[in-house]
Amino acid sequence: MAGVVLPGGVPGAVVLGHEALKEFLAHPDVAKDSRHFPGLHDGSVPADWPLRVFANAQGMHTADGTDHRRLRSLVGNAFTARQVERLRPRVEELTGELLDGLARAAEESADGVADLRTHFALPLPMAVICELLGMDPEHRGRLHALSHTVIISTDIPRPRSWPP
């Protein structure tokens, strides 16, 4: 684990490696739910902090204990070893297509550089999720745009009805 400084000067930490992450998450002092982070509630992290939307998001990735296990059980069948192995050829195909697109984006850019996040890191998980859900290809672009707006974009003003 290493200390990092997040946007806005907010201190954080990064854990690298699967085993290190498993050990970290198993520690009794570690929690993922934002209710356990005083800085988000005592004013030391500004209300307009651009990453607050991620910290306050509620879902399986931010749930702890029995709530996490309950949510995980709802999606568990989609991620069995058999299901993942069944998808392997399609994921490899999608990966190849995105890597080809990344190369094209670099060739077409003025400086010969392509944004890995935009052309690969974001579209690959979305494409795999769409495959898991059996979503028709003509709807995938719209789902990607909506999820980007809801999950990824931190520059969208919150409606006034949201709590600070």
Tell me the mean pLDDT in the region 124-149: 83
Contacts 24+ apart (CB under 8 A), 150-156: 151/57, 152/122, 154/50, 154/51, 154/53, 154/54, 155/50
> Collapsing DSSP states into helix, strand and coil, what is residue 164?
coil
pLDDT digits (tens, 9 = 90+) for 5-42: 988 888 888 899 999 999 998 898 888 888 888 888 89
pTM exceeding 0.85: no
Q: Both tokens of residue 130?
A: 């769409």
Higher pLDDT, 38 or 96: 96
